[in-house]
Amino acid sequence: MSDLVLLERDGPVATLVLNDPERRNAMSHAMGERFRERVAELCSDESVRAVILTGAGRAFSGGGDLSMIGSRAAEAASGSEGAEEARRAIRDIMRGFYGLFLSIRDVPCPTIAAVGGHAVGAGLCLALACDLRIVAREARLALNFTRLGLHPGMGATWTLPRLVPAEVAAELLYTGRTIRGEEAPALGLARRALPAEEVLPAARALAAEIAAAAPRAVRGVKRALRRTEGASLEDQLLFEATEQAACFGTADVREGLRAAVEKRDPRFTGA
């Protein structure tokens, strides 16, 4: 198996690359474990002044691995441990899974998501967890959890309202609709939208500009900005994991997954 997360260095700038292009960089547990290892390397290296996160191939990330999501739904539906016990077990699994990728928030220097292709579901959540985002104009962006029959996860309900107006966040989360990358700056989802081939060079230029500033001061600014966030991410992540665990036992999540595989609109019944 190829390395699922690459780490490249150019002086004080590090680049993390989600590296499963054949599967649109689907976020699996194995990728998450490797991602956390790479982040730990960056956190322990004080010479790193800026980090770029991007995806190999045509997508930033298509989101959570559908086979993993399907297995959670099958576990919830089986009821072998009892419905409540199954939900608690899935909640704990999902909360742990979130933490693997949201470890990007532990990086003490600024992080830039270079979204050169589609970012969907948990994939967009990962980009939103970075400090800054540059997106491809033609990229499709979506927090499509409700389109799969799921409550949003991976910090979506905590991060999004801190980036965009409340009604924009509500609309995107309620509908799960897809937007084009060119819309992202106006909504507050990204700093800039560029042609796909310009995204990574622009991210590198921004990272170099950050790296040229005083590193201790920049790290201090990042800590200061984080202190303004107020509400507890831990509480919101547990709530999200609990809600996702409840969704996994529904017929709607199975319908949403089938529709995704069959590339059609889902027909939800509320069951």
Whether 101 maps to a domain, the answer reads yes
Whether 265 maps to a domain, the answer reads no
Whether 205 maps to a domain, the answer reads no
Residue tagged 């909640």 (tokens): 91
Whether 203 maps to a domain, the answer reads no
Give the phi and the psi of residue 131 in degrees, each rounded to 5: -75, -35
3-class SS of residue 26: coil
Rounded Cα distance between 176 and 64, Å, is: 15
Whether 67 maps to a domain, the answer reads yes
Q: Which domain holds residue 161?
A: 5-197+214-260
Total count of domains within the chain: 1
| CATH number of 84's domain | 3.90.226.10
Rounded Cα distance between 5 and 16, Å, is: 7
Residue-level pLDDT, tens digit, the chain, 271 residues: 689 999 999 999 999 999 999 999 999 999 999 999 999 999 999 999 999 999 999 999 999 877 777 777 777 666 555 678 888 888 999 999 999 999 999 999 999 999 999 999 999 999 999 999 999 999 999 999 999 999 999 999 999 999 999 999 999 999 999 999 999 999 999 999 999 999 999 999 999 999 999 898 899 889 888 877 776 888 888 888 888 888 888 888 888 889 999 999 988 887 7
In 3D, which of 136, 141, 137 has the Cα closest to residue 126? 141
Q: Detail the DSSP E strand segments found in 11-65.
A: 13-18, 50-55, 59-61
